Amino acid sequence: MISAIFGGMPLLLLAASLYWAFRRRPGQRPAGTLSLSAFLGCFAIAFSAYEPAIRAMEDSITPDFSRLVSNSATLSAAASVASVLLFLNHDANEARRRLRWRLRLLAVAVATMAVAFVVTPRTLMWSAAELQGKLDEAPASLHVYSAAYIAFLGYAVYDCLTQTWTRSRTATRKSQRIGLRTTAVGCVFALLYTAYKTINAVGALFGWDAIPGGPRCTSLISPVSCAFSVTAPAVGVLLITAGLTLPAAVWPLTQFLRRRWERKSIADLDPLWQDFTAALPEIVLDDDATVEDEVDFLLHRRIVEINDGILTLRPYRSLTVQQAAIREVERRNLAGTADGDATVEAAVLAAALRAMRAGAELAFTPAAPAPRTSARAGDLRAETVWLRSVARAYAASDIVRTASHKAPMLETAQG
Predicted confidence at residue 411, as pLDDT, reads 46
318 and 352: one domain? yes
208 and 323: one domain? no
Residue 47 lies in a domain: yes
Ramachandran region, residue 63 (left: φ > 0; alpha: ψ -120 to 50; beta: rest)? beta
Predicted confidence at residue 412, as pLDDT, reads 44
Of the candidates 220, 240, 239, the residue with the CA atom closest to the CA atom of residue 230: 220
In three-state form (DSSP H/G/I as H, E/B as E, the rest C), the secondary structure along 259-286 is HHHHHHHHHHHHHHHHHHHHHCHHHCCC
Above 90 in pLDDT, residue 361?
Answer: no
Above 60 in pLDDT, residue 54?
Answer: yes
Cis bond leading into 223, ω under 30°? Answer: yes
Residue 273 lies in a domain: no
Residue 264 lies in a domain: no
Q: Tell me the pLDDT tens digit for each residue of 115-174.
A: 999 998 877 777 765 544 455 566 888 888 888 998 998 898 888 888 888 778 877 777
247 and 381: one domain? no
pLDDT band with cut points at 50, 70 and 90 for residue 297: confident
- How many whole angstroms separate alpha carbon 148 and alpha carbon 159? 16
pLDDT band with cut points at 50, 70 and 90 for residue 11: confident
Q: What share of the chain is helix, strand, coil (3-state, %, to 5)?
A: 75, 0, 25
246 and 285: one domain? no
233 and 327: one domain? no
Q: What angle do CA 360, 364, 367 make, to 5 degrees?
A: 90
Got the DSSP string for 335-378?
Answer: TTSHHHHHHHHHHHHHHHHHHHHHTPPPPSSPPPPPTTTTTTTT
User: What is the CATH classification number for the domain harbouring 218?
Assistant: 1.20.1070
Other beta carbons within 10 angstroms of residue 43's beta carbon come to 29
- How many whole angstroms separate alpha carbon 408 and alpha carbon 182? 63
86 and 155: one domain? yes
174 and 246: one domain? yes
Above 50 in pLDDT, residue 196?
Answer: yes
320 and 171: one domain? no
Residue 267 lies in a domain: no
Range from 1-15, 63-77, 305-319 carrying the lowest mean pLDDT:
1-15
Domain region containing 399: 280-403
Residue 379 lies in a domain: yes
Q: Is 122 exposed, middle or buried (0-12, 13-18, 19+ CB in 10 A)?
A: exposed
Which one-letter DSSP state was computed for residue 120? S
Residue 82 lies in a domain: yes
71 and 130: one domain? yes
Across the range 200-225, mean pLDDT stands at 65
Range from 109-113, 303-307, 330-334, 401-405 carrying the lowest mean pLDDT:
401-405
Instruction: Decide: pTM greater than 0.85.
Output: no
170 and 57: one domain? yes
- How many whole angstroms separate alpha carbon 263 and alpha carbon 269? 10
Above 70 in pLDDT, residue 2?
Answer: no
- How many whole angstroms separate alpha carbon 149 and alpha carbon 88? 26
* Domains in the chain, number: 2
Predicted confidence at residue 308, as pLDDT, reads 93
Q: Tell me the pLDDT tens digit for each residue of 69-102.
A: 888 988 998 888 888 888 877 888 888 888 898 9
CA 185 to chain CA centroid, Å, is: 15
Q: Amino acid identity, residue 249?
A: A
- How many whole angstroms separate alpha carbon 19 and alpha carbon 40? 10
Predicted confidence at residue 58, as pLDDT, reads 78
> Among residues of the chain, what percentage have pLDDT more than 90?
24
- How many whole angstroms separate alpha carbon 401 and alpha carbon 389? 16
Q: Tell me the pLDDT tens digit for each residue of 15-38.
A: 777 776 776 665 555 666 777 788
Q: How many CA atoms lie within 13 A of 280 on its CB side?
A: 23
CB 162 within 8 A of CB 85: no
Residue 412 lies in a domain: no
Residue 274 lies in a domain: no
- How many whole angstroms separate alpha carbon 166 and alpha carbon 153? 20
Average pLDDT, the chain: 80
248 and 289: one domain? no
CB 32 within 8 A of CB 2: no
249 and 287: one domain? no
